Amino acid sequence: MSSSKRKSSEPNDRNENRVVYSEFGNNNNNNKNAAAFERPVQELPIDRQDLRVQASRKGRKGKTVTVITGFQTKPETLNALLKQLKTQCGAGGTVKENTIEIQGDRAQQIVQILIQLGYKAKVSGG
């Protein structure tokens, strides 16, 4: 009896990028289909957005951060507004999940800036 074993010319002959199963299509084409998987963002005009500004220390090791929530805009608009707020406050900050965080307790200052820009903003919390 002869045993039939499969022999290949090289041991690393396999395709390393082989996909066995993919629910949403080929992973190699993610760059082409990225726009199809993005959620649509409803862009509201500036005067119709109701923003809340509050100072928070929760989960930040005791450091105070001013958090601005309630945005319904695209990420590009948030990044432009963040840059403007950071320069006017003279502080650092970031955008996280449609909220803007500015370092320090600057709630009153940020509310004044947002109202001057045309947003409807209120201080929230104590």
Pick the CATH number of 46-123 from 1.20.1290.10, 3.90.1150.10, 2.60.40.1180, 3.30.780.10: 3.30.780.10
More confident: 24 or 114:
114
- For the chain, give the mean pLDDT: 83
Q: Which residue has the tokens 């082409």?
A: 32
pLDDT digits (tens, 9 = 90+) for 80-90: 999 999 999 99
93: closest CA among 102, 84, 105, 81? 102
DSSP secondary-structure letter at 17?
A: T
How far apart (Å, rounded) are the C-alpha atoms in residues 93 and 109? 15
Start-to-end CA span in the chain (Å)? 86
Contact 56, 63 (CB under 8 A): no
Domain residue ranges in the chain:
46-123
pLDDT digits over 62-76, tens only? 899 999 999 999 899
For residue range 4-41, list pLDDT tens digits in order.
Answer: 566 555 555 566 677 677 676 555 555 556 666 666 66
> Length of the chain, please?
126
pTM here?
Answer: 0.68
* 8 A C-beta contact, residue 93 and residue 109: no
pLDDT in the model for residue 42:
76
Q: Which residues make beta-bridge pairs with 66?
A: 55, 102
Give strand pairing partners of 52. 69, 122
Question: What average pLDDT does this structure show over 111-121?
Answer: 95
Cα Rg of the chain, angstroms: 25
Is 66 in contact with 48 (CB distance < 8 Å)? no
Please, what sign has the CA dihedral across residues 74, 75, 79, 81?
A: positive
